[in-house]
Amino acid sequence: MVSNGSTLNVQGTRSSSISVQSGGVENVSSGGWITGQLDTGTFVAAGGTLSVVAGGSAGLINVSGGLNVAGTITANVRVQSGAASNISSGGLTSGTSGGGTGISGGNVNLPAGASAVLVGVSNGGTFNVAGKVLSNGTVISGGIENVLSGGHISSAVNSGAGVNAGGTFKTES
């Protein structure tokens, strides 16, 4: 557990469960990689922060606090109510079918220069896109996806942006 006022710096591979509590910080350095088992990876509580720097990778994360990504998210990220996730220019959030980034009640910001694959937005989640969604963006009931100036949604046939009943997809004019 990374508690208030503590910092965990990961430079190698860490495949066990980590809980980052309010006031705690976990930094994944270049060459570092964190992962775990489904539902037992890294948990970032409200007030906690996980930062993945350029060259670092992370997967299997549940976020209710802050997530800052300049590196790569490999799979299974849940951005929950109250969470704020910022993907920096050069950062990538990706995954596999059924194991990408799920935004439910939290906010994810994808600025110019950042990319995303396999993102689902639901239940009060908001996905702000000024970068590129390369494939498989889905907006489900209660979710909002805002495509801002410079934002780009692209994909192969049958793997682009989908909006289900109750979802909202907005583009900036």
**Per-residue model confidence as pLDDT tens digits over 8-17:** 999 999 988 8
Please provide residue 75's backbone torsions phi and psi, each rounded to the nearest 5 degrees: -175, 155
Report pLDDT for 36: 80
pLDDT tens for 63-119 read 999 999 999 999 889 999 999 999 999 999 988 777 888 899 999 999 999 999 888
pLDDT tens for 135-170 read 777 888 888 888 888 888 875 444 555 666 566 666
Buried b (16+ CB within 10 A) or exposed e, 108-130: bbbbeebbbbbbbbbbebbbbbb
The residues, ordered by sequence, that sit 6+ positions from 136 with a Cβ below 8 Å of its Cβ are 97, 100, 117, 118, 119, 155, 159, 160
- The pTM assigned to this predicted structure is 0.87
Report pLDDT for 40: 76
Report pLDDT for 150: 87
Which among 49, 99, 52 has a CA at the least distance from the CA of 77? 99
